[in-house]
Amino acid sequence: MFSFCTDPQSLEGAAWLACYLTTGKHLDFYGAFGTVLLLLAVTAPVALLFGFLAAMAARARLAPLRWLGKGYMAVVRGVPDIAFFLFFVIALDQAIEWIRHKILCPDWSEPVYQGNDFVVCPAAKMPLSSAPQWVHDTYSFTLAVFTFAIVFGAFAGNVLFGAMRAVPRAQTETAEAYGMSRRQAFWRILVPQMWIYALPGLSNLWMILIKATPLLFLLGIRDIVYYAKELGGMKTQAYAYPHPDWRLWYFLALLVFYLAFTKVSQIALDRLMRRLNRGQATLGGQSGGAMS
């Protein structure tokens, strides 16, 4: 990075450290913080959407739709996250490649499953073997977002389902008395009022989601925990910057990052809670309302 970094062996003290902390691998490490934040930024809304759809389905009058919503929430919530991550990503990846294989290589005569091997035609590979590394990275990142969204969507669905039921029945009844249809009452009365009941549960989920990001490494994405472990491990002379076991320091940095991040989240969520409480028929809303 710096001009004086060409010969790491000759460096000492602050100069060594400056060069050490700006190696290509360290820059990748800093970039991984961005990956984690991006994952959170994309996953949270997608998971909320999945959850909302699941909650709506679970309330549907059509029985199969209701079973689908409730089944999704029950199954995904009941399976350990790690097991789900290990199974689902491989299954999804193979399903995508299998479908592409059927479409793109109809003339392929060899079986897809040969003993232990899963072999599709080269054109059906997802992404193609010849694709540049960033395509592979984007693909695995997308799979990761989707998997996280499915897992956390099931929990969000359960929270929203409960929140929808927590809105006082009188509110919906009044809407119906005004002649609103079921649909109108849902979108105009129930949904705006349910967030206040959903927020404590959703904020819990957000915190858990932040802490679940190290699961990324299971999906083949190099996240900050992977880099901390890799960079912190003892380095022999085979490396340009040999050093003893420094994992403690790297993990301490992660600890500070996660704590700071959850603290900021907590402040933001508390503010949101105060705002949503305004004018609501809840204890927080009424006391706040009386003061303003």
Partner 1 sequence: MKKILLATAALAFSASFAIGGETIRMGTEGAYPPYNFINDAGEVDGFERELGDELCKRANLTCTWVTNDWDSIIPNLVSGNYDTIIAGMSITPERDEVIDFTLPYLPPDPSAYVALSKDVDVKNGVIAAQTGTIQANYIAQSGATVVEFATPDETIAAVRNGEADAVLADKAYLAPIVAESNGELVIVAEVPIGGGVGMGLRESDTELKEKFNAAISSMKEDGSLTKLTKKWFGEDANSF
CA distances from 213 to 34, 41, 145, 218 (A): 12, 12, 10, 10
Task: State the minimum distance, in angstroms, from the CB of residue 94 to partner 1.
Answer: 7
Pick from 90, 259, 264, 268 the residue near partner 1 by CB under 8 A: 90
What number of chain residues touch partner 1 (CB under 8 A)? 43
User: Residue 125 interacts with partner 1 (CB under 8 A)?
Assistant: yes
Pick from 13, 78, 106, 115 the residue near partner 1 by CB under 8 A: 115
Greatest CA separation for the chain: 83
Q: What is the DSSP letter of 114?
A: E
Q: Are 235 and 26 in contact (CB under 8 A)?
A: no
Interface positions, 13-42, toward partner 1 (CB under 8 A): 23-25, 27-28
Nearest Cα residue to 231 out of 20, 35, 7, 31: 20
Nearer to partner 1, 1 or 170 (CB): 1
Give me the 164-203 binding string for partner 1, x by CB under 8 A, dash otherwise: ----------------------------------------
CA distance 202 to 145: 18
Q: Are 186 and 152 in contact (CB under 8 A)?
A: no
Nearer to partner 1, 234 or 256 (CB): 234
Pick from 41, 95, 128, 208 the residue near partner 1 by CB under 8 A: 128
Which residues, at least 6 apart from 212, have a Cβ–Cβ distance to it below 8 Å? 81, 148, 152
Nearer to partner 1, 109 or 114 (CB): 114
User: Residue 217 interacts with partner 1 (CB under 8 A)?
Assistant: yes
CA distance 86 to 88: 6
Nearer to partner 1, 118 or 187 (CB): 118
Neighbour-count burial for 206-226, b at 16+ CB within 10 Å, e otherwise = beebbebbebbeebebbbbbe
Q: Which two tokens stand for residue 222?
A: 């190099």
Pick from 171, 247, 253, 285 the residue near partner 1 by CB under 8 A: 247
CA distance 202 to 221: 26
User: Residue 106 interacts with partner 1 (CB under 8 A)?
Assistant: no
Nearer to partner 1, 1 or 37 (CB): 1
Pick from 39, 40, 58, 120 the residue near partner 1 by CB under 8 A: 120
User: Residue 109 interacts with partner 1 (CB under 8 A)?
Assistant: no
Which residues, at least 6 apart from 92, have a Cβ–Cβ distance to it below 8 Å? 143, 146, 147
Nearest Cα residue to 161 out of 190, 204, 203: 190
Pick from 88, 141, 197, 241 the residue near partner 1 by CB under 8 A: 241
Nearer to partner 1, 196 or 231 (CB): 231
Task: State the minimum distance, in angstroms, from the CB of residue 42 to partner 1.
Answer: 23
Q: Which two tokens stand for residue 110?
A: 């060899």
Helix (H) or strand (E) holding 117: strand 117-118
> Which residues would be at the binding site for partner 1 (CB under 8 A)?
8, 23-25, 27-28, 90, 93-94, 97, 104, 110, 114-120, 122-123, 125, 128-131, 133, 136, 217, 220, 229-230, 233-234, 236-242, 245, 247
